[in-house]
Structure 1
Amino acid sequence: MTMTPLPAPRLEHIADLTVQVAAPIEAGQVAGLNSRGRRRIIPITGGSIKGPRLHGRVLPGGADFQLVVSGTTTDLDARYLIALEGSEFGGEHIFVQNHALRRGTADDIAKLVRGEPVDPAAIYFRCVPAFEVSSPALAWLTESLFLGTGARYPDRVEMSFFRVA
Structure 2
Amino acid sequence: MNLEPLATFHVLLDPVLDLGDSQWGQRRVVNITGGTFDGPRLSGVVLPGGADWQIVHADGTISIDTRYTLRTHDGAHLYITTSGVRHGPPGVLDRLARGEEVDPADYYFRLFCRFETGDERYRWLNRTLAVASAARAASAVRYDAYLLT
Q: TM-score scaled to structure 1, two decimals? A: 0.87
The superposition leaves residues 44-89 of structure 1 with CA deviations (integer Å, 9 ceiling, x where unpaired) of: 111001000111000111111100013431001011100111xxxx
1:64 aligns to what? Answer: 52
Contact residue 126 and residue 150 of structure 1 kept, 8 A: yes
How many residue pairs match? The answer is: 149
Decide which of 58, 65, 69 is 1:81's aligned counterpart: 69
- Structure 2, gaps ≥5 residues long: none
1:91 aligns to what? Answer: 75
CA distance in 2, matches of 1:70, 1:94: 34
Identity of aligned residues (%): 36
Superposition RMSD on alpha carbons, in Å?
1.0
Decide which of 49, 63, 77 is 2:37's aligned counterpart: 49
1:27 aligns to what? Answer: 19
Matched, 1:133 2:121: no
Higher alpha-carbon deviation: 43-52 or 71-80: 71-80
Decide which of 10, 18, 31 is 2:10's aligned counterpart: 18
- Structure 1, gaps ≥5 residues long: 1-8
Higher alpha-carbon deviation: 131-140 or 94-103: 131-140
Contact residue 114 and residue 128 of structure 2 kept, 8 A: no
Q: TM-score scaled to structure 2, two decimals? A: 0.96
Decide which of 129, 136, 144 is 1:145's aligned counterpart: 129
The superposition leaves residues 102-142 of structure 1 with CA deviations (integer Å, 9 ceiling, x where unpaired) of: 01111111111111111111110110011111112211111
User: Which aligned segments of 4 or more residues in structure 1 are displaced greater than 3 angstroms?
Assistant: none
What letter corresponds to residue 81 of structure 1 in structure 2?
A: T
Secondary structure at 2:102's aligned position in 1? Answer: coil
**How far off its partner does 1:43 sit?**
0.9
